[in-house]
């Protein structure tokens, strides 16, 4: 049973995209009307937007916030604040602007509304760090905690990638240290683990596309969670080291956090194995400290204190300062231990994880993914990175053997070798694995008002012979005569004129003409053009179910998994109508075989229709002895987007 104390820090949080539009409302909600607006000089565009929303509520502005919150800067801002009798502070920016806002609030007790543009998290903590005569001091007070935080994802979209990475890792550090804090509690644990998992997922996505709004939203949300952890429980070795390196050696804040975190984790790992296991799980890596290092490398983040400008000769003094005053930390702090940690961080070496195949595999995966870092097309980079990650994970999860992988390569080689201009075994493979249908679903997911699409299949031949409405496309082949009378309309049921409609099908034995070299010319395939009423009519024969070509590698695969190779009987259609999206689909014969086990997963309920048995006179007066069938259907096409 766990015994704990949980203290919540009440702030009002408004989260979303475009929430900057609500900042005036939030000021008024606090009963205020005279805003001192603080904004960093580099945020001119964002500040202009906040100013526009606040309008006449702004009585003064100050853009001189500086790193580590020097008291001289605070004094100047305080003069401005007092002179205009401001009754609320609105701050937009990163840690420095938030720091200045807090410094003013603790001196005046004025309420604060903060709009963060980075992931530092200080907007939800009651802690203020200030510098006086080059010395940094920290204090905590409820008056320091901002009343309202407006998180607007849009304000973070243009944060440069290197800053995004270091600021994101800074947030990760809050969550990591919260997990092994002596005053940790279960609520904070959950927030920390959620933050770690979200940051671990969002940063690689942003490295591929820095303006990805979903990843930005995830990261900002995680930064809030991590900031809340920082506000709730005490931090350990990592924060202490970063504080020392920033305060006494002038190293930049977020970059220092990024370099030190894997090393501080590695130092603490032997004393906090369960915490490291949970962090590793949240990050999806086998070992937390080295996984953290690999993540930073894959994001091209900084990995060495040397690169941040620290002199090697300063390491010993930094180690002494870091152990000078005791503070809670999972592993005892020894001068030698910390000196070793700092030496590793200075060199930028990878913290050693336990030697394991998993760790080696994870390193290999990251190495391959990192090799795509300079791919010019971001989409290609994303697809290649994800493909490699999933293939490596597949190999690992199934313990794939040499022989099995060799078999797979041989299978794919044979799949390629059997391909000819009229035999596409890779399409068959994609179809029988349901991938073609999956891509089709994603690409052509239309509204319920349009006819569903279905796979093209390998038997389509471009540019079939154009034939007049009402013709017979069966080329005299034997079979049950079929009268097709279909309409092409838009989504409002208006007929579409001049739609070019390609149709193709198998004969009654289940073969397409391209599979029958003895046939003379295209048969059971044609191109028709709709008239003013949107109608297409033609004679054909009833299509039969058929096996897909099963004499190659795909057939062997179906055999090996105990599947049959049959397609349910169907007629193929391709529509191209002016102003409308191309529709490729099939109509299936209701009551036909294999409707519920079509080998290419192509059947959709809305495409199963009656090919109704008939006898007697035909629609165009053609003489048919015995049974014939008719197919009536209306296809609805989607308009071209935009
Ligand atoms: C076809 O319907 O023509 C087809 C579709 C996928 C694989 C094989 C054949
Ligand atoms: Fe077919």
Q: How many residues does the chain have?
A: 642
483-507 pLDDT, tens digit each: 999 999 999 999 999 999 999 999 9
Q: Could you give the residue range(s) of every CATH 3.40.50.1970 domain in the chain?
A: 1-156
pLDDT at residue 41, rounded to an integer: 73
Lowest mean pLDDT segment, chosen from 42-46, 173-177, 285-289: 42-46
179-227 pLDDT, tens digit each: 999 999 999 999 999 999 999 999 999 999 999 999 999 999 999 999 9
To test the pocket of ligand 1, the residue of 457, 502, 592, 594 to mutate (highest count of ligand atoms within 8 Å of its CB) is 457
**Whose CA is closest to 359, among 261, 265, 293, 260?**
293
H or E, element range at 74:
helix 71-83
Q: Which two tokens stand for residue 440?
A: 């089709």
Atom of ligand 1 minimally distant from the CA of 506:
3
Confidence of residue 529 (pLDDT cuts 50, 70, 90): very high
pLDDT at residue 290, rounded to an integer: 92
**Whose CA is closest to 64, among 54, 48, 55, 75?**
75
For the chain, what is the radius of gyration of the CA atoms? 34
CB-based contacts of 7, cutoff 8 Å, min separation 6: 232
pLDDT higher than 70, residue 407: yes
* % of the chain residues with pLDDT over 90: 80
pLDDT at residue 330, rounded to an integer: 92
Q: Report how far residue 601's alpha carbon sits from residue 586's, in angstroms, rounded to the nearest whole number.
A: 12
Q: Report how far residue 457's alpha carbon sits from residue 465's, in angstroms, rounded to the nearest whole number.
A: 19
Q: Report how far residue 478's alpha carbon sits from residue 507's, in angstroms, rounded to the nearest whole number.
A: 8
- Summarize the confidence of residues 254-258 as an average pLDDT: 96
Q: Which two tokens stand for residue 523?
A: 């048969």
To test the pocket of ligand 1, the residue of 422, 424, 543, 567 to mutate (highest count of ligand atoms within 8 Å of its CB) is 567
**Helices H, strands E: what count in the chain?**
19, 19
Contact in structure between 97 and 91 (CB atoms under 8 Å): yes
Q: Could you give the residue range(s) of every CATH 2.60.130.10 domain in the chain?
A: 435-636
pLDDT higher than 80, residue 355: no
pTM: 0.60
- Summarize the confidence of residues 17-30 as an average pLDDT: 97
Contact in structure between 94 and 69 (CB atoms under 8 Å): no
- Ligand 1 surroundings by CB, under 6 angstroms: 428, 431, 455, 457-459, 548, 567, 600
Average pLDDT score, the chain: 93
Distances (CA, A) of 78 to 32, 51, 101, 530: 18, 20, 10, 77
277-290 pLDDT, tens digit each: 999 999 998 899 99
Q: Report how far residue 280's alpha carbon sits from residue 539's, in angstroms, rounded to the nearest whole number.
A: 65
- Summarize the confidence of residues 388-406 as an average pLDDT: 95
Lowest mean pLDDT segment, chosen from 147-161, 235-249, 346-360, 495-509: 346-360
φ, ψ dihedrals at 453, nearest 5°: -90, 170
pLDDT at residue 593, rounded to an integer: 96
Mark 101-117 as b/e (b = at least 16 C-beta within 10 Å).
bbbbbbebebbbbbbbb
Confidence of residue 444 (pLDDT cuts 50, 70, 90): confident
pLDDT at residue 84, rounded to an integer: 97
Q: Report how far residue 499's alpha carbon sits from residue 579's, in angstroms, rounded to the nearest whole number.
A: 10
**Closest CA to ligand 1's atom 9:** 457
The beta strands (E) that lie in 407-558 are given as 481-489, 500-504, 525-529, 535-541, 546-547
pLDDT at residue 516, rounded to an integer: 85
Atom of ligand 1 minimally distant from the CA of 436:
6
- Summarize the confidence of residues 15-22 as an average pLDDT: 97
572-616 pLDDT, tens digit each: 999 999 999 999 999 999 999 999 999 999 999 999 999 999 999
- What is the assigned CATH class of domain 1-156? alpha beta
**Closest CA to ligand 1's atom 5:** 457
pLDDT at residue 540, rounded to an integer: 97
**Closest CA to ligand 1's atom 2:** 457
Q: Report how far residue 330's alpha carbon sits from residue 353's, in angstroms, rounded to the nearest whole number.
A: 18
To test the pocket of ligand 1, the residue of 437, 438, 458, 546 to mutate (highest count of ligand atoms within 8 Å of its CB) is 458
pLDDT at residue 469, rounded to an integer: 96
Atom of ligand 1 minimally distant from the CA of 600:
6
What is the DSSP secondary-structure string of 339-395? HHHHHHHHHTPPPPPPP-HHHHHHHHHHHHHHTTTT-SSHHHHHHHHHHHHHHHHHH
- Summarize the confidence of residues 32-41 as an average pLDDT: 93
Give the architecture (CATH level 2) of 435-636.
Answer: Sandwich (2.60)
Confidence of residue 449 (pLDDT cuts 50, 70, 90): confident
Lowest mean pLDDT segment, chosen from 304-313, 374-383, 508-517, 625-634: 508-517
pLDDT at residue 213, rounded to an integer: 95
Q: Report how far residue 101's alpha carbon sits from residue 205's, in angstroms, rounded to the nearest whole number.
A: 32
Q: Which two tokens stand for residue 49?
A: 């937007």
**Closest CA to ligand 1's atom 7:** 457
289-336 pLDDT, tens digit each: 999 999 999 999 999 999 999 999 999 999 998 888 888 899 998 888
pLDDT at residue 247, rounded to an integer: 79
- Summarize the confidence of residues 53-64 as an average pLDDT: 96
**Closest CA to ligand 1's atom 6:** 457
Q: Report how far residue 265's alpha carbon sits from residue 292's, in angstroms, rounded to the nearest whole number.
A: 9
């Amino acid at each position: 049973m766990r015994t704990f104390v949980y203290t919540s820090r009440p702030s009002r949080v408004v989260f979303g995209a475009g929430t900057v539009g609500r900042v005036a409302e939030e000021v008024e909600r606090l009963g205020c009307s005279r805003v001192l607006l603080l904004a960093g000089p580099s945020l001119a565009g964002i500040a202009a937007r906040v100013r526009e929303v606040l309008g006449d509520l702004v009585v003064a502005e100050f853009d001189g916030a500086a790193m580590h919150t020097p008291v001289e800067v605070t004094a100047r801002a305080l003069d401005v604040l007092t002179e205009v009798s401001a009754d609320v502070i609105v701050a937009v920016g990163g840690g420095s602007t938030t720091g200045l806002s807090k410094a003013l609030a603790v001196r005046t007790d004025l309420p604060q509304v903060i709009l963060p543009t980075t992931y530092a998290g200080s907007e939800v903590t009651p802690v203020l760090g200030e510098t006086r005569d080059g010395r940094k001091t920290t204090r905590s007070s409820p008056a320091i905690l901002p009343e309202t935080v407006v998180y607007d994802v849009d304000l973070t979209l243009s944060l440069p990638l290197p800053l995004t990475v270091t600021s994101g890792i800074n947030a990760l550090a809050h969550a990591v240290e919260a997990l092994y804090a002596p005053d940790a509690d279960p609520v904070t644990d959950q927030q920390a683990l959620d933050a770690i998992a979200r940051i671990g997922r969002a940063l690689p996505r942003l490295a591929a596309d820095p303006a990805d709004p979903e990843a930005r939203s995830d990261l900002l949300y995680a930064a809030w969670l991590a900031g809340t952890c920082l506000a709730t429980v005490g931090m350990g070795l990592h924060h202490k080291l970063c504080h020392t390196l920033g305060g006494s050696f002038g190293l930049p804040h977020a970059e220092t956090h990024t370099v030190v975190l894997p090393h501080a984790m590695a130092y603490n790992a032997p004393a906090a194995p369960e915490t490291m296991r949970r962090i590793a799980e949240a990050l999806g890596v086998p070992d937390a400290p080295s996984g953290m290092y690999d993540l930073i490398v894959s994001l091209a983040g900084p990995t060495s204190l040397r690169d941040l400008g620290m002199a090697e000769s300063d390491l010993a003094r930094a180690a002494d300062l870091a152990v000078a005053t005791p503070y809670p930390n999972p592993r005892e702090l020894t001068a030698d231990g910390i000196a070793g940690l700092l030496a590793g961080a200075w060199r930028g070496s990878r913290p050693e994880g336990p030697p394991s195949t998993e760790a080696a595999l994870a390193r290999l995966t990251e190495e391959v993914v990192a090799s795509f870092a300079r791919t010019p097309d971001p989409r290609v980079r994303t697809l290649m990175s994800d493909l490699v990650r999933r293939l490596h994970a597949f190999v690992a999860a199934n313990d794939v053997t040499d022989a099995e992988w060799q078999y797979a390569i041989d299978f794919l080689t044979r799949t390629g070798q059997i391909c000819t201009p009229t035999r596409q075994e890779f399409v068959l493979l994609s179809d029988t694995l349901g991938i073609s249908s999956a891509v089709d679903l994603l690409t052509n997911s239309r509204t319920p008002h349009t006819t569903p699409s279905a796979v093209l299949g390998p038997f389509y031949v471009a540019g079939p012979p154009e034939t007049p409405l009402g013709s017979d496309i069966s080329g005299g082949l034997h079979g049950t005569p079929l009268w097709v009378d279909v309409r092409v309309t838009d989504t409002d049921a208006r007929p579409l004129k001049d739609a070019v409609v390609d149709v193709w099908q198998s004969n009654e034995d289940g073969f397409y003409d391209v599979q029958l070299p003895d046939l003379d010319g295209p048969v059971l395939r044609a191109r028709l053009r709709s008239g003013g009423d949107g109608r297409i009519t033609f004679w054909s024969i009833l299509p039969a179910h058929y096996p897909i070509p099963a004499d190659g590698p795909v057939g062997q695969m179906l055999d090996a998994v105990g599947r049959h190779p049959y397609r349910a009987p169907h007629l193929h259609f391709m529509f191209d109508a002016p102003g409308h999206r191309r529709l490729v689909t099939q109509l299936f014969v209701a009551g036909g075989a294999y409707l519920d086990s079509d080998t290419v997963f192509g059947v959709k309920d809305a495409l199963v229709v009656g090919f109704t048995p008939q006898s007697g006179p035909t629609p165009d007066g053609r003489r048919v002895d015995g049974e014939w069938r008719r197919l009536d259907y209306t296809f609805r096409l989607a308009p071209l987007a935009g």
